[in-house]
Structure 1
Amino acid sequence: MRLIALFVMLSVLFFIPVPKTFQQSLGSAVLNTGHIIFFCLFGFAFFRFTQGTLRYRIGLFLIVVFAISLSVESIQSMVGRAFQWGDILRNELGAMLGLSLYLCFTVSSARQLSLRLTWLLLVMIAIVIERMPLVHELMHNHT
């Protein structure tokens, strides 16, 4: 119950207007990374409560994350923030990272570990590709 309360309290951050200083490209890119971090923690914390076969659990969990993300983005558009499909993508990537990490900690065989580490690596590569504009922006502003 405390875990749910913690995530509900943190989710309020998705509805607070973004300060002007963070609305520029670099600030926005840094804030967008928060979606990945939040949903990584969400995936790590809540995936364990799913039931059924592993394939079913993963599919159901990602559908639930998509529904939550779609709801959050829709509500954001009503409170003065913009609806962004990119945020939904970042939420899904974060959830996949979190559940990948969770699965790596709950393996029962070397073969499972190999498959789960491969999945984790693929998710991390996808996140790096999605965050490349942030890296580019940080390097551009640093020089």
Structure 2
Amino acid sequence: MRNIPAHGRLLIVDDDLMVRMLASESLRHAGFEVSEADCGEQALEMFDEQDFDLLLLDVMMPGIDGYTVCQRLRQQERGKWLPIVMLTGLNDSDSIEQAYLSGATDFITKPINWLLLTQRVRYGLRASHAIAEVTRS
């Protein structure tokens, strides 16, 4: 595959420290710059202060859940086309449909296949770059 971004700024949002650690390590090893947030509120604050190329966002968190975070990001100009990959242990059609209705770009169920995570992130970034190129032209 050509034109697959090998790097980018990612934000991982998950209340599970182990998931954040494993995802961060896997993605850093692949050349991505990774920031972490442990809740929806922190994710929204970080998004306001920094630019990210893609978000990995847990659905179920204390406080603001991932669906709400996703909806709020989509309401912002910078968040309209941002790739947002939802992560969840829920593996039912209603949860998946709710993720997409909230504005998710993609959906990954837990337990996460760490070997495929990097490829899914690269694919999300490549699609985002393609949309940006079409928009510019």
TM-score, scaled relative to structure 1: 0.34
TM-score, scaled relative to structure 2: 0.35
Structure with larger RCO (C-alpha < 8 A, sep 6+): 1
Q: Which has the higher helix share?
A: 1
